[in-house]
Amino acid sequence: MPPANSLQLPQVMGILNVTPDSFSDGGHFFSIDTALRQANLMVKEGADIIDIGGESTRPGAQSVPLQEELDRVMPVIEKIRAECSIKISVDTSKAEVMREAIAVGADMINDIMALRGDGSLATVAASDKVQVCLMHIQGAPRTMQQNPHYDDVVAEIKTFLLERVQACLEAGMEPNRLLIDPGIGFGKTVEHNLLLMKKLSELTHLGYQVLVGVSRKSLIGKILNKSVTERKYGSLALAVLAVNQGAAIIRTHDVAATVDAIKITHAVMQ
Ligand code: 8Y4
């Protein structure tokens, strides 16, 4: 327990994509090797958690067969686990990937479907210590940006997340293992995303740790008119706004920059 007068320093989750589009050769050996070097760099830069994903969740992306996803992520999880004690998160919606990852020592499941897939809630509930991030998405990744609509985006996301929390609690999970996430960019317009960022404290006040992923997302590109490689400063601005409203974890491609921004924000808040 932290002392009553101290805030917890928010944590940085570094993104590790193990997908062929991240690698020029598409071969597994090179992919695994490159992924491990990337993971080591993020650890050196001060990441608290590495989020390993084998299925691209970008708008319009195709789904990946189970065996292919296992072949991508399992060797990387096992090798990182063998090399260091960093927290490992697995970005997956498949119960079988969750089960195998937990068996080799993953610490967190990051599921953009919030454990609504077949068997995934039972799988995570059956492990007694793994954390889970429950993210909001409207629709499915392939079609979510076609015509996002809400009457009250903040209220609807709050309701959805509390329903998923309730399902987890009813399955026997302790509340401190649950994280909630508004799912910035997942079935939302720029205006929806901006309102969620502005009102993020309504989520952090629900009593669960809040994870936010804004890194390089298209709302930044649309506001700044910049390509995906030019969105670092815009991403940092959103990360600072999230931390200032009580976010516990920031998911990012740019670990070193985000660690500095969070430390300064935290120093002011403290
Ligand atoms: C460039 C590269 C631009 C990637 C955009 C992107 C979240 C997440 C993603 C999130 C949680 C992404 C897996 C989308 N976003 N998980 N995952 N929260 N919990 N797009 O916001 O990074 S993938």
pLDDT in tens, 68-124: 999 999 999 999 999 999 999 999 999 999 999 999 999 999 999 999 999 999 999
In angstroms, the CA 104 to CA 88 distance is: 10
- Residue 49 near ligand 1, beta carbon < 6 Å: no
Domain locations in the chain as residue ranges: 31-53+67-111, 115-270
Closest CA to 144 of 243, 58, 75: 58
Cα of 111 to ligand 1 centre, how many Å? 11
Closest CA to 59 of 222, 197, 241: 222
Cα of 213 to ligand 1 centre, how many Å? 6
Q: Which of 72, 94, 217, 231 is flagged as catalytic? A: 217
In angstroms, the CA 162 to CA 168 distance is: 10
Burial (CB < 10 A; 0-12, 13-18, 19+), residue 170, is exposed
In the predicted model, is pLDDT for residue 2 greater than 80? no
**How high is the pLDDT of residue 26?**
53
* Range with lowest mean pLDDT among 37-51, 138-152, 237-251: 138-152
| Residue of minimum CA distance from atom 21 in ligand 1 | 213
Tokens of 154: 């903040």
pLDDT in tens, 158-202: 999 999 999 999 999 999 999 999 999 999 999 999 999 999 999
The Cα diameter of the chain in Å comes to 52
Is residue 215 within 8 A of residue 174, CB to CB? The reply is no
- Residue 269 near ligand 1, beta carbon < 6 Å: no
| Residue of minimum CA distance from atom 11 in ligand 1 | 213
- Residue 141 near ligand 1, beta carbon < 6 Å: no
| Residue of minimum CA distance from atom 1 in ligand 1 | 216
Ligand 1 atom closest to 133 (CA): 19
Domain spanning 115-270 has what CATH number? 3.20.20.20
In the predicted model, is pLDDT for residue 212 greater than 90? yes
- 119-154 burial, b at 16+ Cβ within 10 Å, e below that, comes to ebbebbbebeebbbbbbbbbeebeebbeebebeebb
**How high is the pLDDT of residue 30?**
65
